[in-house]
Amino acid sequence: MVVGGATFQGWGGFREGIISHLDATGSWTAYPADSYSNIADGYPISMEMCGGALNVAMYNNNGGIARIDLVNGTVLSGFDRSQLDGTSPASVTCDASDTLYIGYYADDQPISKYSFQSNAFLSSLTTASHNLPSDRIWYDSLAHANGQLIVGHGLGLQGNNLIGGGFSIMSSNGATTTQATVQGSGSSVTSFQWLGSTLGWMMGQAGGSSGYSHVSTLNSLGTQENGCI
């Protein structure tokens, strides 16, 4: 098990992000950002195994992606702000070709792609290239399964392709990604879970003006709302 946390100072002021790993023996190992030059300063808000290591989005305006070999307990070279083409990294996912996708909690940003097969960044997904909405990607709201990349969007304020919250979905594997199919919904889509080829995706969505958050499923029959919270 891996847990993301942080230490604070004063009246809740952020001080340092900490990644903690509980191994099979019941022992904890902590990786404080200030103690490792390869871990960008930020809050560890999204995690995904990709390229043989755990990739962690360290959320901050100057954040980055930390990489940890959990088997050997070592911090690997990650990606800092200078290597990324977006700001405030807040979501990561991975496809079957060991391609890492990085989403940003800021408006009018791309989705970055890094291939661990070729050890190089691939062309990013943008509004211009793939019809990606300008609305920010919600925290930990990238997911990949069944050859599909699905993206949860918050309420954007800047950009020329605003949808007012919702989701976008595209076929994607390695260097190949199709144009996004976009569904605006008037509130933030915040989480996804793949339920299998029959049931499709389960989505969590904020209530927006209704005040009632709800869970929906998305499959070949369309989107069905399943219940309010």
Mean pLDDT, residues 197-210: 83
pLDDT band at 210 (very low <50, low <70, confident <90, very high): low
Q: CB under 8 Å, gap of 24 or more: what pairs does 182-188 form?
A: 182/131, 182/133, 183/223, 184/133, 187/155, 188/138, 188/152, 188/153, 188/154, 188/155
Distance between CA atoms of residues 21 and 19, nearest Å? 7
Q: What pLDDT shows up at residue 216?
A: 82
Number of domains in the chain: 1
Q: Determine the structural domain holding residue 207 and report its residue range.
A: 126-229
Residue 173 included in any domain: yes
Residue 170 lies in a domain: yes
202 in a structural domain: yes
89 inside domain: no
**Is 189 a domain residue?**
yes
- Residue 82, Cβ neighbours under 10 Å: how many? 7
The residues pairing with 172 across neighbouring beta strands, listed in sequence order, are: 177
What is the average pLDDT across 59-81? 94
- Residue 22 pairs in a beta bridge with 28
Proportion of the chain above pLDDT 70, given as a percent? 96
Enter the pTM of the model: 0.93
Q: What values do phi and psi take at 47, rounded to 5?
A: -135, 145
User: Who's near 193: CB < 8 A, 6+ residues apart?
Assistant: 143, 201, 202
Taken in order 131, 133, 137, 141, the sign of the CA dihedral is negative
Residue 2 belongs to a domain: no
18 in any annotated domain: no
Q: What is the mean pLDDT of the chain?
A: 92
- The answer to whether residues 48 and 55 touch, using CB atoms and an 8 Å cutoff, is yes
Q: Is the pLDDT of residue 60 over 80?
A: yes
- Tell me whether residue 174 is exposed, middle or buried, using C-beta atoms within 10 angstroms of its C-beta: 0 to 12, 13 to 18, 19 or more: middle
How far apart (Å, rounded) are the C-alpha atoms in residues 133 and 55? Answer: 25
